[in-house]
Structure 1
Amino acid sequence: MEGGELSDDTGAMERVSAQSTGAPVEWEADVVLRDGTVAHVRPITPDDAEGVRHFHSLQSAESIYLRFFAPLRELSDRDIHRFTHVDHHDRVALVATLDSEIIGIGRYDRIDPTSAEVAFNISDHFQGKGIGSVMLEHLAAIAQEMGINRFVAEVLPQNRKMLTVFKEAGYEVTHHIEDGVVEVSFDISPTEQSKAVQLSREHRAEARSMHTILFPERVAIIGASRREESIGALVMRNILAAGYQGELYPIHRVADSIQGLRAYPTIHDVPEPVDLAIVVVPAAQAIDVVKDCGKAGVKALLVLSAGFAEAGEEGVRLQEKLRRRVRRAGMRIVGPNSFGLINNDPTVRLNATLASVIPESGRLGLFAQSGALGVAVLASAARRGLGISVFASAGNRVDVSGNDLMQYWIDDQETDTVGLYLESMGNPRKFSRIARALAAVKPVVVVSSGVSSFAAPPGHRTRVTNVPPQAFRALLRQAGVIRVENVHQLFDVAQLTLHQPLPKGDRVAIVGNSDALGALSASACLSWGLKVTHGPVSLQPQASAEEFAAALDAAFADPEVDSVVAAFIPPLVTPDEDVHEAVRNIVADYEKPCVATFLGMRGVGDGLSYEQGGVRRSVPAYSMPEDGIRALNAVTRYALWRQRDRGTQVAPVGIDRLRAESLIEGHLAASPEGRALTREEARELLSAYGIRVWPAVEVSGVDAAVAAATELTFPVILKSTSPVVRHQPGLVGVRGDLVDAEAVRDAHSSLTQRLGPLGADRFVVQRMAVPGVSCVIRASEDPLFGPVVSFSVAGPPTELLGDVAHRIPPLTDVDVTDLIDGVKAAPLLSGHRGAAPVHRAALADLIARLSVLADDHPELSSVELNPVNAWTGGVDVLGAEVVVRPALVRKDPGRRRMT
């Protein structure tokens, strides 16, 4: 085996070593540091002995003293053994590595059942990158898994950096000084503040890493070529033609110059550190290129080369080797098989794509995954006259994804609207929370047909999902994302959000010069749920520009109008320009959006442009009214989402997490592969989260049924447990309102006679609930989405019509309300046809408890509460089924980690 091959497999060897020592592999994580570089966090192993010794030898005398309270210039063999041999339970140690070299060590040692002493040692050469914060975050998450809820530490007063790490973590820290040492202690249970700190740090780090990629001062093209038809030559021409403002270095083994620029034999020969290396060499050579870039200190890579996972099994192996090598070197990578990236900022002017003609500078940020779609997206933007700020193609998305770009766009002052073309999604939970943060400040428009293993293009790393497409659509709605079906609709929406204010409501005025267009516009509004409160006003085809202006002004001035639709055919007498001027002049006087249909026009252009408050705007034109009204409806729903109270995260009282965790661990210890819990086991587990399941007694004969009914107290219900009849319409296997022993005997006899031939004569007895609406509440753990909570009204709405609503935890109280209202059968809960309305607060509390249970315990493969009887006095959980399985590693765990 060649040395390079051995080096590339170091990450895999480290994982094998970790497994052999019993270290949980799921504790390993790649994390983005404060400066945008990447470090690897993993459990320490005995094989790290020499690495720890080397790490210690490079530390300054001051750092050694601050860590050990003594001038330990060398560590003894006994110390090294103690540091590297841990049990991964009472004693846990993590190391942060860069290119396999240890740059940070964090550990805790349990001192009693619920507390542990924590300590850190960060390399002098990597101070200020946030390594200590990352280690604390990961150790705290691991400690909680082990039943530890409090950390203590001893710190010298002069060790201000470590005191700051504790103070700024978001925990309630207490400290006092004894014998010249600061004794620190704090509860490590997640708080709103600590979670906010964690997410804020993740956001800043990932946004910073994207800034490095998008604003490179020095770019190298590895694979630059003197052959004009080559990809390397094309990319270089495009960069030069766009007027790139930084330093460009072509890399070529023998050429002295390429396209007028001095060429360098290798990346190591470049005189200055390179920020971004563009790789256009054959896939088989890419690994060696990455190695060289890592050694040369390159910060990020853009790999345009194809031939990786999209090319077959060998390409899959090559791509994984590429990913490991890049991560180990601490770099970020866009691609491979990327179409490239664009930054139109005048300080950069970078067109590192295969497209020679790109849209002008503007305020639309675009992300696409495949190259073919990148071409379509850029071409469509240019045709519409929409300028872009940033464009990126992730290619096979081995690292940088839409989530990373969204982190950057949250704070980017040059981008007002974001458009994403998603062919697959690697981390929906993270997408949801980042998209929600981005949508709170600017519109996010997503083109996606759904998320499934069938939709994922070759080369994309993703997991199989079992959730229905409705769950993905619900995730987007929950995050405030505008979902559209194709690229054309994306730009229909984008040209409206970029050039018009957001509507304040859903009331629409329609003004035009055609009865047919007016009627068509009104019908489209009604079909989308918009309210036509003004018009349709239809002028005569020969109307003057002044008449057009007067009609539009009346529509905009109407206080019952939030948006205006202007639909015109070419007038018979008035010149088109006069109509355009009338429209733009009136629109400029109001802070209300307008969509226009001028037959033959599409997009935004000078003919409909105007100045408003120092901002250059334009009335977006659509070829047909339906296109504009579809876009207006999408933007209106988004604007109403922006106006809504987001709610607060649900936090039901009376929850015993440790008890539930103990029960789950006990069941899995007895059944390592997992299993369905018995009725009583399910009741006990759910009770830890305040979910009370009504008892149901299995009976094997009529006498047992009578005895059970007497014990439960009358009236009771007798029902078959057989799946043969359980979901049959009507009351095939049920007898209710059994008020005495004789009624029970009659019901048992009747059901036995009827169901015996079907083998369905197995029964349970349960108290009779008061009349209400029967509901189904379910939580399931999906390999891709993590926990998914579903709600429906039982019976035909669920079983025949698929009328089920979904949400992704963690939920807010507003999410819970939307979940309940998200089914078409929701009116049944509000007193349909004179019935008493159900107790909504009790139903919401039950859903909240189940969502928290599912979010807390990934070992719960599925939990189904069925039926749940919702009535005016509360909710009764009459049945529950729980299945436990070994936990999947969630894509978005409670600590920072790259996917």
Structure 2
Amino acid sequence: MTNPEGSPADDGVATETGYPQEWEADVVLQDGTTAHLRPITAADRDALQRFHTGQSERSTYMRFFAAMERLSARDLTRFTELDHRDRVALVAVSWTSDGSEEIIGVARFDTIAPGEAEVAFNIADSHQGRGLGSALLEHIAAAAREVGITHFAAEVLPQNGKMLAVFREAGYETTQHVDDGIVTVSIDLDPTERSRQVMIDREHRAEARSMLGLLTPRSVLVVAPDDADATSLQSRMTVRAVGAHLRDGDVTMTVVGASDALRAAIGDATGLLFVGTLDEVTAPVDLALVVVLPGDVLATVRALARLGTRGVVVAGPGYAETGPEGLVLQREVVRAAHAAGMRVVGPGSYGMFARRPEGAFNASLAPVLPPDGRVGIFCQSAPMAVTVLATVWRRGVGLSSFVSAGNRADVSGNDLMQYWQDDESTDVAGLYLESIGNPRKFSRIARRLSLVKPVVVVTAGRSGHVVPAGHAVRTTRAPRRTLEEMLRQSGVIRAENTHQMLDIIQLLAHQPLPSGRRVGIVAGSAPLSAIVAEAAGAAGLVVTGHVGVVREDATEEENLAAIDAVYAEGACDVVVAVHVPVLGGTDTQFCAAVAAAAARSGRPTVASVLGLHGLLPELTVEVPDAPGEPSEATGEEAGEPASRTVTVPAYSTPEDAVQALGAVVRYAGWRHQDHGVPLTYPDVDPAVARTIIARHTREGERVDLAPAEVRALLACYGIDVWESVPVRDADEAVAAADQLGWPVALKSTAESLRHRADLGGVRLDILDESELRTDVLQMQTSLADHVPELRHPTARPLEVQRMAPAGVACVIRSTEDQLYGPVVSFGLSGDAVDLLGDVSYGVPPLTTTDVAHMVRSVRAAPRLFGYKGLPSADAAAIEDLIGRVSELADDHPEIRSLELYPVVVSERGAAVLSARVTVSDANRKDGLRRALPD
């Protein structure tokens, strides 16, 4: 971006008064490159003029409906000096080869009526076809919604098909008509399910393509330290990286800036070129591996802009993990890379590698690569990358791709999941996450990927509350179970550690998904089978009783018969094979028989055999494909003889084997269950809700809405809060009861007593005036000593409310967390429930299945479903309420907290008896726009 003087800003913060910095964003375009979007400023006059004069005559005519060689001084002032509210403009910018900034796209709107604005776009001729128009529309629409604009109007020439397509394909509700040769398009900015899906699909394609560009380069540039100390960390990383390429690479490589000592350590090789400086590099470069000292990285990244580089891998320490100055440097590096169209892997990355049909690519620091396979691994820190790769190699797990993101300043696990979804060479995804920078996006992408490919995740902490140094992410105050619930509803298989992650991965990569959870056991002894049965029950598997005991004193035929009986048709869904010969050693006959039976039957199998761990020849067999059918493994044509390799994964202990099997069985069950549909409610009115919230939102302040405002706000989302009337004395109480209708409830307004019938704060089922007057007098007398402020002459210490039908009292809450966004919770009311933490959580957006699970997953849920012969409560009504709260909280980040308490769920319906809402200024990025991490 530019500062007011028009030169590149070093800190990325505009000093212009009222500048909405939160509208700045880096985006990935449909060709996989990046651009920076930001509000226009008065300092952009010259850049805007250059943009205009660089356009073709046709493009200028399409934008202004007239020939206009240059913008006048008046136009430049009008287009660049805006209030960022009624008149807004965003520009897309990129870096030029000389390091300056240029405008490559403009989107603007001018308010023409309350809630309506006229919008216009202009994309540089040389950058059309990259998806800039759709990206700018997403961001200008988000800015418009933020300032209260609900509709866009655009005037477009009929021959401007590209602009009309941008509006038509955005997914919003649009109308258009032609008048006097001009097409007027009206766009309703309220998001629709289609517009959301359009943005998600575009984001997926763009980010997947950007990763494809990183993992399939044809030319690699290594920028080495230009020093004489060949023992420095940077020099040793350079030798390791270049050596890996020379052994495994299928790309051209140029090394820049290496000292004589470093060149001697690298040696000569075909296809390897040494140059002294970056200025000597003239050919385009797909990927740059930068191993220079941190102080030299920013200049290096800026210098790469002229080479058309798609990605930069920044290795080595010295960035955000060192403190504030390192964080500033890290952000400057990413900003410079994005402005030049590049993605950044790192800093602190161990590198990456990928195997493609046309050849291997390796830009990692690993001395030895794991075998070829169909597992993709994402890892953050370099030290953990070393550990994970060593374990993968030791087990013999084959990888299709590997990326270490280091501090995860740009490329993250979200990007890799987008890539793996379309990557035909990857069947299983594994992620080691030290932090999750955008849980809402992670949840959305992981759920989509998990439906087609298993995703196994291990996090550095159980709760996500601990963030390693170098990871610039928002902190969270969400309950510690929030992360667990988010992963569960996304279909992610969560592992406790990397050992367990690879236990699960090796099973998923080499055995089919189970069709059920009935387990058969093949064991070397009865005690071993008992151990397995106990572990299987604890893992949620069902022990069928099909147990085959393989004895050392039995004949081979007898043992084979015992194994075949377990694998008999319909006997079980999965098999656990365990064998520990008394005399030691590995029983190869047992291994061969189990592997053959597993391959023959297609029954998922795990093994724990003395001396074996991982994927080994002893448990591997070749199975011929059926005649006339093509081989999925080899791709040979139908009719040709072919075979496939089947390996039963081996585990160190029976418990490890069963635990991995249980995780995969649960995933298979999730994948085949009904996942419901996204929650949508046609009767909601977000625009009116925004108006109510805006009246009370004050920057930096938390405001509790008055009861009338709470009822009005919730009514916008179809939530009816029962009226209650505060009263001072018995006469007012009787009048209120007559107004509301008998019978009534009488409640204390004191916070500590308003829901406590056991402490005398609530009287229920009051049938007549006499009983009500008595109760008022008793409560005034008994509660005055406990709540002195209720004795004030103007206080209204009590409230009257019509009695709700008998039912189960519940509580629904939503809290806005600065990391997770809205976190919705559900539980039954009562001290015991609160003290025991019997609460379920959901992170919107939710589906119908998600809310059903929330209601049924609390331990006290049986009270809703006919506990001890009582009538069943209306579960559908409470699910509807949770869904409406979820959508309300998701739509309005200004709602910091919301509570419906109590909600009485009867046989028919749910009565919301009390509600509270607290609002403040929004602290969440608009989720309806594509944006890379800040």
Cα distance, 1:573 vs structure 2: 12
What is the aligned counterpart of 1:789 among 812, 815, 824? 824
Report the residue type matching 1:246 in the other structure: V
Aligned counterpart, 1:856: 891
User: Measured at CA, do residues 860 and 394 of structure 1 come closer, stay the same or move farther in structure 2, by a change above 3 Å?
Assistant: same
Partner secondary structure for residue 472 of structure 2: coil
CA distance in 2, matches of 1:636, 1:478: 16
What is the aligned counterpart of 2:927 among 868, 886, 893? 893
Partner secondary structure for residue 576 of structure 2: strand
The answer to which of 348-357 and 332-341 deviates more is 348-357
Report the residue type matching 2:767 in the other structure: V
Cα distance, 1:784 vs structure 2: 0.3
CA distance in 1, matches of 2:6, 2:258: 26
User: Measured at CA, do residues 687 and 575 of structure 1 come closer, stay the same or move farther in structure 2, by a change above 3 Å?
Assistant: closer
CA distance in 1, matches of 2:309, 2:681: 49
Partner secondary structure for residue 837 of structure 1: coil
C-alpha contact 2:224 2:258 (8 A) present in aligned 1 = no
The answer to which of 43-52 and 468-477 deviates more is 43-52
User: Measured at CA, do residues 834 and 223 of structure 1 come closer, stay the same or move farther in structure 2, by a change above 3 Å?
Assistant: same
Cα distance, 1:478 vs structure 2: 0.7
Cα distance, 1:393 vs structure 2: 1.1
The answer to which of 177-186 and 46-55 deviates more is 177-186
Aligned counterpart, 1:73: 69
1:342 equivalenced with 2:343 (yes/no): no
C-alpha contact 2:586 2:609 (8 A) present in aligned 1 = no
1:623 equivalenced with 2:634 (yes/no): no
* Map 1:667-816 → 2, pairs under 5 A: 667-668=696-697, 673-725=701-753, 730-759=758-787, 762-816=797-851
Partner secondary structure for residue 136 of structure 2: helix
C-alpha contact 2:244 2:366 (8 A) present in aligned 1 = no
C-alpha contact 2:346 2:409 (8 A) present in aligned 1 = yes
CA distance in 1, matches of 2:799, 2:156: 62
Partner secondary structure for residue 118 of structure 2: strand
The answer to which of 681-690 and 359-368 deviates more is 681-690
Residue deviations 1:699-720 (CA, integer Å, cap 9, x gap): 2334433333333333222222
Cα distance, 1:571 vs structure 2: 6.9
The answer to which of 615-624 and 808-817 deviates more is 615-624
TM-score normalised per structure 2: 0.91
What is the aligned counterpart of 1:245 among 250, 256, 268? 250
Cα distance, 1:194 vs structure 2: 2.0
Aligned counterpart, 1:399: 410
The answer to which of 349-358 and 658-667 deviates more is 349-358
What is the aligned counterpart of 1:665 among 686, 694, 708? 694
CA distance in 1, matches of 2:551, 2:490: 45
Report the residue type matching 1:9 in the other structure: A
* Map 1:550-699 → 2, pairs under 5 A: 550-559=561-570, 561-570=572-581, 576-612=587-623, 613=625, 614=631, 615-668=644-697, 673-699=701-727
1:56 equivalenced with 2:84 (yes/no): no
Residue deviations 1:183-204 (CA, integer Å, cap 9, x gap): 4444343222222221111111
Cα distance, 1:6 vs structure 2: 10
Report the residue type matching 2:702 in the other structure: G
User: Measured at CA, do residues 702 and 306 of structure 1 come closer, stay the same or move farther in structure 2, by a change above 3 Å?
Assistant: same
CA distance in 2, matches of 1:23, 1:251: 41
Cα distance, 1:581 vs structure 2: 1.5
What is the aligned counterpart of 2:875 among 826, 832, 840? 840
CA distance in 1, matches of 2:571, 2:803: 52
Residue deviations 1:754-780 (CA, integer Å, cap 9, x gap): 333222753322222222111110111
Cα distance, 1:178 vs structure 2: 4.4
C-alpha contact 2:874 2:906 (8 A) present in aligned 1 = yes
C-alpha contact 1:787 1:809 (8 A) present in aligned 2 = yes
1:127 equivalenced with 2:128 (yes/no): yes
Partner secondary structure for residue 457 of structure 1: coil
Report the residue type matching 2:798 in the other structure: F
C-alpha contact 2:27 2:36 (8 A) present in aligned 1 = yes
* Map 1:269-288 → 2, pairs under 5 A: 269-288=280-299
Cα distance, 1:392 vs structure 2: 1.0
CA distance in 1, matches of 2:528, 2:781: 67
C-alpha contact 2:158 2:182 (8 A) present in aligned 1 = yes
User: Measured at CA, do residues 267 and 534 of structure 1 come closer, stay the same or move farther in structure 2, by a change above 3 Å?
Assistant: farther
User: Measured at CA, do residues 365 and 157 of structure 1 come closer, stay the same or move farther in structure 2, by a change above 3 Å?
Assistant: same
Aligned counterpart, 2:20: 24
CA distance in 2, matches of 1:477, 1:527: 19
Aligned counterpart, 2:31: 35
Partner secondary structure for residue 368 of structure 2: coil
* Map 1:142-541 → 2, pairs under 5 A: 142-171=143-172, 173-223=174-224, 229=231, 230-252=235-257, 255=260, 258-260=266-268, 261-345=272-356, 347-450=358-461, 454-541=465-552
CA distance in 2, matches of 1:814, 1:367: 29
CA distance in 2, matches of 1:309, 1:514: 56
For structure 1, which runs of at least 5 residues remain unmatched after alignment? none
Cα distance, 1:254 vs structure 2: 5.7
Partner secondary structure for residue 480 of structure 1: coil
CA distance in 2, matches of 1:625, 1:272: 56
Cα distance, 1:450 vs structure 2: 4.2
C-alpha contact 2:345 2:405 (8 A) present in aligned 1 = yes
For structure 2, which runs of at least 5 residues remain unmatched after alignment? 96-100, 626-630, 632-643, 791-796
Alignment length (residue pairs): 890
Partner secondary structure for residue 348 of structure 2: coil
C-alpha contact 1:543 1:571 (8 A) present in aligned 2 = no
Aligned counterpart, 1:829: 864
Report the residue type matching 1:234 in the other structure: V
Cα distance, 1:376 vs structure 2: 1.1
CA distance in 2, matches of 1:609, 1:387: 14
Residue deviations 1:467-522 (CA, integer Å, cap 9, x gap): 11211111001110000100111011001100000011122112222111111111
C-alpha contact 1:279 1:302 (8 A) present in aligned 2 = yes
Report the residue type matching 1:738 in the other structure: I
C-alpha contact 2:463 2:484 (8 A) present in aligned 1 = no
Residue deviations 1:62-88 (CA, integer Å, cap 9, x gap): 222222222211121222222223343
Residue deviations 1:430-487 (CA, integer Å, cap 9, x gap): 0000111111111100001547675211010111111112111110011100001001
CA distance in 1, matches of 2:168, 2:802: 54
User: Measured at CA, do residues 254 and 636 of structure 1 come closer, stay the same or move farther in structure 2, by a change above 3 Å?
Assistant: closer
User: For the aligned residues, what is the CA RMSD?
Assistant: 2.5
C-alpha contact 2:511 2:646 (8 A) present in aligned 1 = yes
CA distance in 1, matches of 2:111, 2:7: 36
C-alpha contact 2:37 2:93 (8 A) present in aligned 1 = yes
The answer to which of 110-119 and 712-721 deviates more is 110-119
CA distance in 2, matches of 1:110, 1:503: 58
The answer to which of 72-81 and 830-839 deviates more is 72-81
Residue deviations 1:827-868 (CA, integer Å, cap 9, x gap): 111111101111111111111111111011111000010111
CA distance in 2, matches of 1:570, 1:646: 45
Report the residue type matching 1:337 in the other structure: G
The answer to which of 822-831 and 221-230 deviates more is 221-230
CA distance in 1, matches of 2:730, 2:162: 74
The answer to which of 410-419 and 709-718 deviates more is 709-718
Residue deviations 1:787-826 (CA, integer Å, cap 9, x gap): 1111111114531110111111111111111111121111
CA distance in 1, matches of 2:585, 2:63: 83
Aligned counterpart, 1:818: 853
CA distance in 2, matches of 1:536, 1:390: 39
Partner secondary structure for residue 242 of structure 1: helix
CA distance in 2, matches of 1:198, 1:66: 26
User: Measured at CA, do residues 52 and 335 of structure 1 come closer, stay the same or move farther in structure 2, by a change above 3 Å?
Assistant: same
CA distance in 2, matches of 1:47, 1:440: 48
CA distance in 2, matches of 1:807, 1:364: 30
Cα distance, 1:674 vs structure 2: 2.6
Residue deviations 1:34-93 (CA, integer Å, cap 9, x gap): 122211112222222111111011111222222222221112122222222334334322
C-alpha contact 1:215 1:348 (8 A) present in aligned 2 = no
Report the residue type matching 1:481 in the other structure: V
